[in-house]
Structure 1
Amino acid sequence: MKDLSLKRVVLGAAATLITAGQVTSASAAPVPRTGTTRQPMSDALFTGPLVAPNATALPAGHWNIEPYVVDSIQYGQFDNDWDSHNTSNSHAYRSVTLLEYGFTDRLTIALLPSFGYNVADEGPDSQGVQLGDTTLRMQYMVHAFSEGSLLPTVALSYAQNFPTGKYDGLQGHVADGLGSGVLSSTVGLFTQDYFWLPNGRILRARLNFTYTFADADASVDGVSVYGTPAGFNGHVETGDSYSADLAFEYSLTRHWAPAIDIVYNHSQGGVIQGSRAADGLITPVRSSSDSSESISIAPALEYNWNKHYGVIVGAEVVAAGRNAAATVTPQAALNIYY
């Protein structure tokens, strides 16, 4: 089907949300209608949306633990013209746990280990639960939001991806590959702000930007997650990527909050280069891939018992894309703060 119309739907939804967000900020006069009460910030409980990280630092000595369970279902593929084509369904089950610690009142350190199991559309599934890549993130809060402030919370982030998951040498067991083989760095700018709607309720907004680049190429031997065949020996140069994420959470009640992320991703094309040994011959191999981009939306519903415990359930849907996988990713997480 043509995805130009789908792009219009997504962008229209984004415009509607942005219009809804054009309300008075904390620095302006109260906007509640006559007879309504302006909701105190302490009354609004949030877990955070599915995708956008929090710009606010954890207080020194405090932990935030958030284990996710995820099922990424690929049902199609977008071509270079933003048209989608159906494919056989495959499932990528993942468990990713966010472990955050407040090192100081401005510096937060996070570790994100991941595990998973792949159900392939063709060939055997994973032989068991596999280790994925691991991310270490450091985040420094430059400015903290307060009522009456003109500035949102602003934080700078640096993350290192460690290639701890399998990615090559996968002869006969491609589904065991959960890693990238690439040591990569991600720099980010995170922001968070609060708005009061005409009914007095709080709308919390996040706008985050990230840029990822590889610190070195991935050495590849044999069958790999990059589609290389048996007998291949060489390397893969992954292209840089960047993303933008606009997210909203609405404090419907003290405990309930609907949330949504609108995410744009862009990745440069990569290059595979090396040689393949087969039938006593060594053949040079070189291939490249085009750049890709996608627009996804991630609606979710949060429930918070108190400031220490909350849950979020939702799904991220790739609504439009170019040279990208068409996926629906249901997920749930438990948030624990102490």
Structure 2
Amino acid sequence: MSPHALRSPRLISIALIAGLCMPALAGAAEHSLDGVNFTGPLITPNPAGMPKGNAYVEPYLIRVNSDSYYDDDGRRHDSGERSSAWVTVLPIAYGLGQHVTAQINLSAARAETGDARSRGFRAGDTTAQVQYLLQAPNEDGTRPAIAVSLSQRYATGSYDRIDGNPLNAQGDGVQRTTFGLGMQQVVWLPNGRPLRWRGQLSASPAPARVALNDSSVYGTPHGFRGNIAPGSLLGISAAAEYSFNSRWVGVFEFAASRQSDRQLSGYAPGEDGAAQRIDLRLPGSRNLTLAPAVEYHFSPNVGLIAGVEFTVAGRNTGSYINPQVALGMFF
């Protein structure tokens, strides 16, 4: 999963997957999910939620690597310097009721750029979420699970007043609310093995302005006083998991996101010491990533997933390759 959580044309892809799968549903009631194990893919969240009184914990270890970026025309360029980080993300989900699941995501990172490094692992932002299951799946999974969610991101990571080492900042200061709609379904293939697909659509309205002081993750100089107006976000992701047997599962996933323009405003001291007005528009960004992975299940309650997420297209955003591994544990 990334330490990261958002990703619209993709709805078409999800509909196409569902349409192609419909012929395979005939006779699906004869199948059973006994002995079939899934951990879930790397990015797209689980719309089925947790049974009441049960919990799911899935710590991630992610290596972020970036040495290029996409410009305003979508062309890729070398950055001239490699940036990387070790990121840990800890999602904890708990079933509050038959249809309600609560989840919290904690994160921390240790960043590197050239010879510079952050001072150990630094706390990132935190996300809390409540999900409501509109339609529960049936026993063989052929009836789709459909859920809506509401998540709130809290600015627990540092993002301004970073006059020392700028790599110590691991947050963005944005208190963001996100609405989500997810769907998941099992399709039984002619060989008798299940393929589970899921999709997620998310939307986040533009949140309140974030006050900024001194140096910040937005490149403001020392002495700056002002704010940034964050843009809205749209995201979509879809994934498929094919169960080879009770232990091994192959995964393929894609995700896309779009952020609108942001506006940076404020004052900073000039060379003569007088305050100078700063008004800067930060153009909107787009990002498309793929994430193949493989799962191995030690038991029905414990599974390991390892894969890599990488960008294939973008605009005004960095290009990255992120190997990652996560251990899912059901209690």
Taking structure 2 as the reference length, what is the TM-score of the superposition?
0.90
For 1:239 and 1:26, locate their aligned partners in 2 and report how far apart those are by CA, in whole Å.
42
Question: 1:26, 1:149 within 8 Å by CA — same for their partners in 2?
Answer: no
Question: What is the CA distance between 1:30 and its match in structure 2?
Answer: 4.7
Question: What is the CA distance between 1:336 and its match in structure 2?
Answer: 0.6
Question: 2:32, 2:139 within 8 Å by CA — same for their partners in 1?
Answer: no
Decide which of 257, 260, 271 is 1:265's aligned counterpart.
257
1:99 aligned partner: 92
Counterpart of 1:118, as a letter, is A
> Identity of paired residues, percent?
31
Question: 1:65, 1:335 within 8 Å by CA — same for their partners in 2?
Answer: yes
Q: Does 1:283 align with 2:272?
A: no
Q: Does 1:53 align with 2:20?
A: no
1:44 aligned partner: 36
- Taking a change above 3 Å as real, the CA distance of residues 148 and 268 of structure 1, as seen in their structure-2 partners, is same
Which piece of structure 1 moves more, 43-52 or 144-153?
144-153
1:222 aligned partner: 214
Q: Does 1:319 align with 2:317?
A: no
Decide which of 13, 22, 28 is 2:26's aligned counterpart.
28
1:330 aligned partner: 323
Question: What is the CA distance between 1:280 and its match in structure 2?
Answer: 2.1
2:289 aligned partner: 296
Question: 1:238, 1:271 within 8 Å by CA — same for their partners in 2?
Answer: yes
Question: 2:249, 2:294 within 8 Å by CA — same for their partners in 1?
Answer: yes
Aligned length: 318
Q: Does 1:64 align with 2:56?
A: yes
For 2:19 and 2:251, locate their aligned partners in 1 and report how far apart those are by CA, in whole Å.
13
**Paired residue secondary structure (1:56):** coil
Question: 2:131, 2:147 within 8 Å by CA — same for their partners in 1?
Answer: yes
Question: What is the CA distance between 1:165 and its match in structure 2?
Answer: 0.3
Question: 1:309, 1:336 within 8 Å by CA — same for their partners in 2?
Answer: yes
Decide which of 155, 160, 175 is 2:152's aligned counterpart.
160
- Taking a change above 3 Å as real, the CA distance of residues 163 and 151 of structure 1, as seen in their structure-2 partners, is same
- Taking a change above 3 Å as real, the CA distance of residues 108 and 148 of structure 1, as seen in their structure-2 partners, is closer
**Paired residue secondary structure (1:43):** coil
**Paired residue secondary structure (1:23):** helix
For 2:86 and 2:209, locate their aligned partners in 1 and report how far apart those are by CA, in whole Å.
27
**Paired residue secondary structure (1:206):** strand
Aligned-pair RMSD on alpha carbons?
Answer: 2.3
For 2:233 and 2:22, locate their aligned partners in 1 and report how far apart those are by CA, in whole Å.
34
Question: 2:251, 2:293 within 8 Å by CA — same for their partners in 1?
Answer: yes
Q: Deviations over 1:286-313 (max 9, x none)?
A: 1011111111100110011222100100
- Taking a change above 3 Å as real, the CA distance of residues 54 and 19 of structure 1, as seen in their structure-2 partners, is closer
- Taking a change above 3 Å as real, the CA distance of residues 148 and 98 of structure 1, as seen in their structure-2 partners, is closer
Q: Deviations over 1:46-73 (max 9, x none)?
A: 1000000000121111110000011111
For 1:119 and 1:303, locate their aligned partners in 2 and report how far apart those are by CA, in whole Å.
31
Instruction: Name structure 1 gaps, 5 residues minimum.
Output: 1-10, 32-37
Q: Does 1:247 align with 2:245?
A: no
Q: Deviations over 1:13-45 (max 9, x none)?
A: x98xx67982346752359xxxxxx75212210
For 1:150 and 1:65, locate their aligned partners in 2 and report how far apart those are by CA, in whole Å.
26
Question: 1:26, 1:148 within 8 Å by CA — same for their partners in 2?
Answer: no
Question: 1:274, 1:286 within 8 Å by CA — same for their partners in 2?
Answer: yes
For 1:222 and 1:254, locate their aligned partners in 2 and report how far apart those are by CA, in whole Å.
55
- 1:62-141 residue pairs with structure 2 within 5 A? 62-87=54-79, 88-121=81-114, 124-141=116-133
Question: 1:76, 1:327 within 8 Å by CA — same for their partners in 2?
Answer: yes
Decide which of 203, 211, 219 is 1:211's aligned counterpart.
203
Instruction: Name structure 2 gaps, 5 residues minimum.
Output: 1-8
Counterpart of 1:157, as a letter, is S
For 1:336 and 1:149, locate their aligned partners in 2 and report how far apart those are by CA, in whole Å.
21
Q: Which runs of 4+ in 1 moved over 3 A?
A: 18-21, 23-27, 147-151
